[in-house]
Every structure is written in structure tokens, then in C-alpha cells.
Structure 1
Amino acid sequence: MTTAADIMHPGAQSIPATETLDRAAQLMRRLDVGALPVSDADGRMCGILTDRDIVIGCVSHGQDPSRMTTGDLVRGTPRWIDADAGIDEVLEEMRTHQIRRLPVIEDKRLVGMISEADLAHHLSDSQIASFVGSVYT
């Protein structure tokens, strides 16, 4: 059985909710990613910040990204999947919540991230078509 750990991009890194958006953008550039899990003071994931969030939630409003924090922009309950979860569980989680990136957790620690690109490399054409149809409609 193919698991989340098999298809994830390993070594995902989180950023504290107290870190500024300009620092988050710099980390995204350095890691060549478009999203970062955000962690609270206890190290628990409290959301995901995307490059689009920074542009739409901060820059487009004329706010200073060196004065806003990642915690200022994250909303809602973060979604994640256990590293041992099967591919069907991964797809169901992403479909149900219409998300494009899914953090992977093992022993309560962030170990990776699954993106659409990861799915494209590991799914059949029919699985990809079904996923895209459900997330983008």
C-alpha cells in the first residue's frame, strides 16, 4: 500500500506564528516552496501560510510585511495526515477540505508535505482527473 510518507516531499519546515511575513517569504524563497506550516508557542501546527496569503493579506492592503506576523494571517483549523495513511485517505482529506497542500505528521512531528505535484508523480491519470475535478469545482 502506498502511504503518505511514500509520496510526500520530506523535510518540510514550519515557521513560528510570531515570525514576520518578510522572514517567511525569505524562508519560502530559500526552500523553494510556496507554503509553510505555522506553529504556535507550543510547537503545534496552527495553520499554513502561502505566498499568496502574504501578497493578498498583507502587500495588497499596503501593510508592511516586516511588521505583520505569520500568525496574523493564518485562519481556521489546519489539516494534516499521518505518515502511515494510505493514498486514498490523503486524497479524501484533500478533496473534502479542498486543499492543495497537506502536511504529513509522524509521532506528532512535521515530517513532510504533500502537494499537487507530489500527487501527479504518484497517481494514475484517472486518479489525478478525479482529484482535480473535486478540488477545483
Structure 2
Amino acid sequence: MTTAKDIMHPGAQWIPAHETLDRAAQLMREMEVGSLLIADQDERLAGILTDRDIVVGCVAMGHDPSKITAGDLAQGTPRWIDSDADVGEVLQEMQSHQIRRLPVIQDKRLVGMISEADLARHLTESQMGAWVEQVYARG
């Protein structure tokens, strides 16, 4: 059985909710990633911040990224998957919530992230096509 841990990208990183968006963008550049997980003061998942969130939710609105925090952009209920979950569960979670990135948790600790690129490396063409159709479908 292939699990979430088998297909995830290890090394996902938290950013504290109180950290500013300019610092988040610097971290993304340094790490060569397009998203960071947002953690509350107890290191619980509070959301995911993407480079697009920074551009659309801050810069394009005329706000100063040195004054807006990651927590200011956190919205909705954060989704995650246990590291031992079967790939079918991973796909179901991402499809049912139309999400493109999914944090992987093991023993209440962040161990990685599953992205579209990770799926593309591990799924068949048929599985990937079905995933794309569901995640990108407009409701």
C-alpha cells in the first residue's frame, strides 16, 4: 500500500502566524517553494500561505507586506492528512475540498507536504486526470 508519507515532499516548514508577508516571501525564495504552512502560537496548523496569496491578497490590494501578517491571510479550515493514510484517502481529501496542497502529519508533527508535482510523479495518467478534473472543477 502506498501511503501519504511515500509520495510527500519532506521538509515543509511552518511560518508563525505573526510573521509578516515580506518575511514569508523571503523564506519562500530561500527555500525555493511556493507555499508555507501557517502555525498558531501552539504550533497548530492555522492555514497555508502561497506566493499567490501574498500577491493577490496583499500587494494587489495596495497593502504593505511588511505590515500584514501570515495570520491575516489565513482563512477557512486547514486540511491535512496522516502520514499513514493510503493514497486513495489523499486523493479523496484533496478532491473533495478542491485543494492543491496537503500537509502531512505524523504523531501531531508536520513531516511533509503533498503537492500537484508529487501526485504527478506517483499517480498513473488516469488517476492524475481524474484528480485534475475534480480539483479544478468549478462548482
TM bucket normalised to smaller: over 0.9
- Determine the C-alpha separation between the residues in 2 that align with 1:114 and 1:61: 29
Residue ranges of structure 1 left out of the alignment (5+ in a row): none
- Determine the C-alpha separation between the residues in 2 that align with 1:96 and 1:26: 32
Aligned partner of 1:87 in structure 2 is 87
1:75 and 2:75 are equivalent in the alignment: yes
- Determine the C-alpha separation between the residues in 1 that align with 2:11 and 2:91: 21
Note the C-alpha offset of 1:117.
0.3
Aligned partner of 1:3 in structure 2 is 3
- Determine the C-alpha separation between the residues in 2 that align with 1:132 and 1:118: 13
Aligned partner of 1:46 in structure 2 is 46
Paired residues, what number? Answer: 137
Aligned partner of 1:63 in structure 2 is 63
- Determine the C-alpha separation between the residues in 1 that align with 2:31 and 2:37: 13
Aligned partner of 2:21 in structure 1 is 21
Aligned partner of 1:32 in structure 2 is 32
- Determine the C-alpha separation between the residues in 2 that align with 1:4 and 1:79: 14
Summarize deviations over 1:53-77 as a string: whole Å, max 9, x none.
Answer: 0001100011100010000001011
Aligned partner of 2:115 in structure 1 is 115
| Structure 1 length-normalised TM | 0.99
- Determine the C-alpha separation between the residues in 2 that align with 1:128 and 1:64: 38
Residue ranges of structure 2 left out of the alignment (5+ in a row): none
Note the C-alpha offset of 1:11.
1.1
- One-letter code of the match for 1:13? Q
- Determine the C-alpha separation between the residues in 1 that align with 2:33 and 2:11: 12
User: RMSD across aligned C-alpha pairs, in angstroms?
Assistant: 0.5
- Determine the C-alpha separation between the residues in 2 that align with 1:85 and 1:93: 10
- Determine the C-alpha separation between the residues in 2 that align with 1:134 and 1:61: 30
Identity within the alignment, %: 70
